[in-house]
Structure 1
């Protein structure tokens, strides 16, 4: 790959019968060749987008005591606030503070015989000092889910599958996940790992950026390009579930975030759409012409990808947040340790 920038796709063309086939071809090509693209004319209200960014900045401006009241350590569902360097990627700390929000659902009653990933469902933590945060983010979450499911159906059609091919995987309880993220500026002699190199685990990821660059995409081994902020767009990338479901035809691409320089910060808001936790990801039968180009999913041998969505998601959470894992999932950690010994 010799690309120097990400392709730009206009979602409004999907709704125009005269332009739909061309859009689907562009979508298939972008997802196959790079796995990242800008999405414009996506239909998410611009005023709502601005309100989300304003709420994010207000949240990070709270003092530490106020933010610690909604710290993730208080949530067995991995929701809430983390200071910079609290989350790990490939064992190293990420220099970002963040606030995680999932689908607002009641916690499930979990028996000793139930799979431990059922503990992941539950309510979010919300700061009392900022009552408008909840209503704004849940409205944005609803709007993002509606748009993301439209795009997911476009992906199905781009692969010559029925438009509803993926519907059963996310069903009526998709794994909706929002991250408010602030990257503090770093001195040149400090770690520049805003987020370490990784792939996303779900179906689709959407990033709303501010004006500060930092996101980089590895389009080929050790060949990184900047996903420079493009006003009015989302940066969209393929998650490992889509790579798995298409036997590697669609590409989940490694990416990272480089910290901004000292004196600046970077704000981004991420939305992740994943399958419902009780789903098992199949491999869809692609048309022969496409199946020939499917190379199989590239799973990290140190973090193998699982077809059972709930277990795969829990595994990632345990690795990223060892303090929360130790507090609420000691039984899972013990079982994993015993399996390694055997």
Structure 2
């Protein structure tokens, strides 16, 4: 059983007020959470609940479509990891059965004249968009949601920089033409018969800089604590779960944690079906950004633990490792 809830809940209201003391206090709270857990909740984030509700509603509408309709936008048809991936398409815990989830990937919608597209940069190009008559408002709503959560991502990166004793805008030079991903996720009710060790989303770390997750009320998210016990991360109304990815751990020379986490599929209660929906936003940096140990995170006694790495090459390689089922 997971350990009692112990992940910190951080109110961002003061950090958005213009008060310098409140800003630095919030940054210090985030720094402590990054060192201890690599996971924390944020409230007072400024994103309208109506926009969150609308995004969940269109996600439910899309995933309720028949399977043969959803596969019109199968991710393998895009060539750049955009679109619908069905249950069993991905395995995030190496050596374990495929995950019991389906999702829809959206990234920066780049046309043929975009500089990264012209250069043939991997995983850069246009999104696949479901037909408007099937899911009215899908494109407009997801784009509005992405814009709002992107602003929150910039704000959080500024707070992380302050917590590391760096200028607040330190990470902005890595965010000139970034590659964020918005992923709508659906975990159907866990079937009666599953393979040994098969769950909604296998234990994994996230790959990039920062993840912002909005959950529905179903629960099921667990985070591995430093003591080796799983910590429940239940939904807290109106709050995002924020966690660091592998690139942030490398940036901080392992001072901050990219933490294993997993999701159990809803089992249903009293014979009733149970489902879980969540919206993950992977706040990734520029494709060609080079990640190496940050100033203040290494010295002669503790030199850099990792060689520099290209953010884009790392993300592309992780997609390759976790994709298990072709169309």
Tell me the TM-score range normalised by the shorter chain: 0.7 to 0.9
- Asked whether 1:34 is paired with 2:37, we answer yes
Deviations 1:60-84 (A, max 9, x none): 1111122111111111110011111
TM-score by length of 1: 0.84
Aligned partner (choices 102, 106, 109) of residue 107 of structure 2: 102
- The corresponding residue for 2:80 is 77
2:276 aligned to which of 242, 249, 266:
266
Root-mean-square deviation (CA), in Å? 2.6
Q: 1:237-288 CA distances to partner (integer Å, 9 max, x unpaired)?
A: 0111111111111111110111110421101110010111111112111178
In 1, Cα distance between the equivalents of 2:302 and 2:155? 25
Equivalent residue for 2:318? Answer: 316
2:240 is equivalent to residue 234 of structure 1: yes
Deviation digits for residues 78-137 of structure 1, max 9, x if unmatched? 0011111111212431100111111111256899xx7x7x13101111111224101100
Alpha carbons of 1:253 and 1:22: their partners in 2 closer, same or farther (altered >3 Å)? same
Contact 2:219 2:233 in 1 (8 A): yes
* Alpha-carbon spacing, 1:119–1:131, altered in 2? closer, same or farther (3 Å): farther
In structure 1, list runs of 5 or more residues that go unmatched. 298-304, 328-342
Structure 2 regions of 5+ residues with no counterpart?
Answer: none
Q: Rate the CA distance shift 1:306–1:63 in 2: closer, same or farther, 3 A.
A: farther
C-alpha separation between the residues in 2 aligned to 1:58 and 1:292?
Answer: 55
User: For 1:220, what is the secondary structure of its paired residue?
Assistant: coil
Separation in 2, partners of 1:189, 1:76: 33
User: How far apart, CA to CA, are the structure 2 residues paired with 1:158 and 1:142?
Assistant: 25
TM-score for the superposition, normalised by structure 2: 0.88
Matched, 1:159 2:164: yes
After superposition, residues 280-291 of structure 1 pair within 5 angstroms as 280-286=290-296
Query: d(CA) in 2 for partners of 1:133 and 1:275?
Result: 25
Detail structure 1 runs of 4+ shifted over 3 Å in the superposition. 107-111, 290-297
User: Which residue does 1:68 correspond to in 2?
Assistant: 71
Is residue 2:179 matched to residue 1:175?
yes
- Structure with greater helix share of residues: 1
Q: Is it true that 1:193 corresponds to 2:203 in the alignment?
A: no
Give CA-to-partner distance per residue, 1:142-164, whole Å, 9 cap, x none.
11111110110111011100111
- Could you tell me whether the CA contact under 8 Å between 2:89 and 2:324 is conserved in 1? no
Which of 111, 114, 122 pairs up with 1:119? 122
Match of 2:150 among 145, 148, 170: 145
Q: 1:28 to 1:106 in 2, by over 3 A?
A: same
Matched length: 312
Q: Secondary structure at the match of 1:268?
A: strand
